[in-house]
Structure 1
Amino acid sequence: MANSINRRNWIKTSAFMAGSVTFFSGALNKLSAMPMKVKNVFTSTDLVTDEQVILQAPGVMKARLSANENPFGPSPAAKKAMTEAMETCYQYPFMKTRELMGKIAEFEGVKQNNILMDAGSSPLLHAAAMFYGKNGAEIITGDPSYNDLASSAANLGSKIIKVPLTADYKLDLDAMEAKVGPNTGLVYICNPNNPTATVVDTAKLKAFCERVSKKAVVFVDEAYIDYMPDPQASSVMSSVKAGQNIIVARTFSKLYGFAGLRCGYIIALPDTVKNLSGYATGMMSLAATTVAAAAVAYQEKEFLQDALKKTMASKEFLYALLKKEGYTYIPSSANFVMFPINMEGSKFSQEMNNRGVSIRTWKFNNKDWCRVSIGRMDEMQAFADAFKQLS
């Protein structure tokens, strides 16, 4: 893992290549002043990254189902806005960014000083890792869960406490709370969780946030919240508005189809936003085309519902396939499904690659698992054709 390509290194490299040294230098200066004790804590559940899988895949793929991307977006309106934004892309998109932040603030019922935007949620996760994981502080996370924040903190010398999931593959909030101590810097909750696509009870999560945030900041990553039947009801955004020490992360990379455009944000208390802004690349990393597209696409309900409907149809196709082939799976609340496989993970991944299909694999609970992203129906058929040859 020490030599693996990851989004964090890509972001830092891209920032320099884009001429963003001025805006990124503050974060790098703070990073350089911190002790660099590198640890490799993710040895079993996180064998490779999404990026590695894609980079190692054949040039021509029948189905790219390894990175939880939404192949149905962005919307026509977003594409039109990007095209029009090219005319003035020589200008910094200050006004458009403020317009987008205003829309987010109005919809969520917060103020703009509660919002910190960046080129996707990854640099915001990294900023939280730097700020809350410094001086060897503890970061508590699920196992398995999305590891971007935790692995960043580990590489900076933080102590990572991984808490196994429950028997039904959900984050164990009780066990995580029991691990909170005087040296805890942050508790990371990915809900819906990645890679299991499971969710925790909303009322229980809100109660957890209220209690734990009095001891340590709680970072709730809601990257996949838009795939829930009622995203607002499932969110802990109200915990921030209640003045709790909570950070809520959102991204346009999933249901909005902006994975390659890079746009994300966090909502938190103003002091938290101020603290993290010194470690994040910030809204100056957002391209004019991305901002214009996001401002148009934000809460574009008709398109989002259409993308969600197509995702559900492809997911039901996958469920039926797995049942027919005699496989169980974890019921999914996101745009990916995880199921145990009857082959060693790396071999299964390679065999699927050889058949033009990229997927992800994990190993936990003494089992090998496949995580397959939900694609277009033609991609799901390509997965089915390849999977039947191996099942």
Structure 2
Amino acid sequence: MMMRTTNKSINRRDWLKATALFTGGLTMLPPVLQGLQAAPPAEAAVTTLEPPVSALGHSGLTATSLTGFSAETASPLTGLHADAAIEPRIPGILKARLFANENPFGPSAVAKKAMMDSMDNGYQYPFMLLKDLEAKICAYEGLDAKMLMTSAGSSPLLLGTAITLLSNGGNVVSADPTYDDLPTRCEKIKATWIKVPLKADYTHDLDAMEKAINKDTKLVYICNPNNPTGTIVDVAKLKDFCERVSKKVPVFVDEAYIDYLPDPAATTLIESVKKGQNLIIARTFSKVYGLAGLRIGYVIAQPAMIDLLGHYSAAGGYALSLPAITAALASYNDKPYIDDVKKKMEASKSFLYETLKKEGYTYIPSHTNFVMFPLKMEGQRFVEEMGKRGVGLRNWKLNNEDWCRISIGRLDEMQAFAAAFKELS
């Protein structure tokens, strides 16, 4: 169990600093939001902890334990992406960092140069530069500026959505397992999470999800491609689903990993938003663009929804740093760079598939930069043993079985995984 300090209070200034979410005072928030109070920091480094549900998922997808992980930044309200909410402390040299779904090939050379060049203007608030980035996104997607909101990664926007739509109760419907950041936050404000099991092929069961919607449903959440399974929803069925369902309740489509698909434009639901449907589409620069450490993302929705989300979401020039905006502006829609990242990622993924096959393992074919495969040993022990060999991984419980979700790294990292894996398989 995570160690906690005995002091259960937290002052307003520290709370705001921890969440980086609200621009107003606590007196402006509904009483139900007290359930979202950030946990006090851990006393010290611990060797075994119970990770926060927002970091690891729960119910159908729960990490039993992650021995050797730090409790730093583990508060459910930090706003960090779930994959970044914990950091492994592995004895010796970490040869392969394969637990956070990051882009190990890093930002583009153009983005890195732009960040360096921006330092001379570090004393300035980046209002004007952010307008340039937003204008660039809107021009490419054919959007009205009132349909876009940027923030420090997509997580603050997920939290803002939870507070905006479910602070007065109700329920959110999602697949299970899926990326649980938003529905978990809904539970923190006393809303209910209705979990609909994935189909046998680990894809969303849209029919069952639609049937699960009731009079108290305030939001439907779909992660496509799905985390942690790496599967995608049939595009035609998803568009039909959203057209019907969005007439009754908002649908949040999290497209964090969509840029890894061969043709993202054929899968995105942005066109549905432009047609007037009540959808919220989330995008991030944390994945293909390699800017996870800089924190920048955005949502696309109807102007009225953007206005509502703005009440509880840190957005605009106060939420984003100058280097983050500069890097995003320089690399946005940089096709040669994106194609190169995807080519390298596919090479590493192919190597992983072959490694698993040679050792007699199966896996879920993935459309993303991570892969799920079932283990033949207890999950916690597998993570510990791989950690001793310098390979950082994540273990999960899926359908009451032990699984591993491995992020796709550089080829040398995948080779390090293969060498360690062969010793245990």
| Letter of the 1:187 counterpart | V
Q: Contact conserved, 1:54 with 1:358, CA < 8 A, in 2?
A: no
Give 1:46's aligned residue.
Answer: 62
Q: Deviations over 1:181-217 (max 9, x none)?
A: 1110110000000000000101100100001101110
Quote the offset at 1:55 in angstroms: 3.6
Alignment of 1:156 onto 2:172:
no
Q: Contact conserved, 1:50 with 1:360, CA < 8 A, in 2?
A: no
Give 1:16's aligned residue.
Answer: 17
| Letter of the 2:58 counterpart | F
Q: Contact conserved, 1:36 with 1:157, CA < 8 A, in 2?
A: no
Give the 5 Å matches for 1:350-361: 350-361=384-395
Quote the offset at 1:327 in angstroms: 0.6
- Rounded to whole Å, the distance in 1 between the matches of 2:227 and 2:85 is 17
In structure 2, the residue corresponding to 1:185 is in which secondary structure?
A: strand
Q: Contact conserved, 1:53 with 1:358, CA < 8 A, in 2?
A: no
Give the 5 Å matches for 1:66-85: 66-85=99-118
Q: How large is the Cα RMSD of the aligned pairs?
A: 2.3
The unaligned stretches of length 5 or more in structure 1 are none
Quote the offset at 1:176 in angstroms: 0.7
Match of 1:61 among 67, 81, 94: 94
Match of 1:174 among 207, 217, 220: 207
Deviates more, 1:39-48 or 1:193-202: 39-48
Deviates more, 1:74-83 or 1:34-43: 34-43
Quote the offset at 1:344 in angstroms: 1.4
Give 2:147's aligned residue.
Answer: 114
Give 2:410's aligned residue.
Answer: 376
Match of 2:177 among 119, 144, 157: 144
List structure 1 runs of 4+ shifted beyond 6 angstroms. 1-4, 38-41
- Rounded to whole Å, the distance in 2 between the matches of 1:310 and 1:215 is 42
Quote the offset at 1:26 in angstroms: 2.5
| Letter of the 1:378 counterpart | D
Match of 1:212 among 230, 245, 256: 245
| Letter of the 1:34 counterpart | V
| Letter of the 1:276 counterpart | L
- Greater helix fraction, Structure 1 or Structure 2: 1
Aligned length: 382
- Rounded to whole Å, the distance in 2 between the matches of 1:3 and 1:219 is 34
For normalisation by structure 2, the TM-score amounts to 0.85
**Percent of pairs with identical residues:** 52
- Rounded to whole Å, the distance in 1 between the matches of 2:189 and 2:341 is 39
Q: Deviations over 1:354-378 (max 9, x none)?
A: 1111111111213111000000001
Quote the offset at 1:337 in angstroms: 0.5
Q: Which has the higher contact order (CA 8 A, sep 6+)?
A: 1
Alignment of 1:295 onto 2:293:
no
Give 2:217's aligned residue.
Answer: 184
Deviates more, 1:356-365 or 1:217-226: 356-365
Alignment CA distance shift 1:84-1:115 (3 Å):
same
Quote the offset at 1:158 in angstroms: 0.8
Quote the offset at 1:46 in angstroms: 2.9
Q: Contact conserved, 1:251 with 1:263, CA < 8 A, in 2?
A: yes
For normalisation by structure 1, the TM-score amounts to 0.92
Q: Contact conserved, 1:15 with 1:285, CA < 8 A, in 2?
A: no
Alignment CA distance shift 1:43-1:80 (3 Å):
same
Give 2:24's aligned residue.
Answer: 26
The unaligned stretches of length 5 or more in structure 2 are 5-9, 37-51, 66-81
Alignment CA distance shift 1:288-1:369 (3 Å):
same
Give 1:342's aligned residue.
Answer: 376
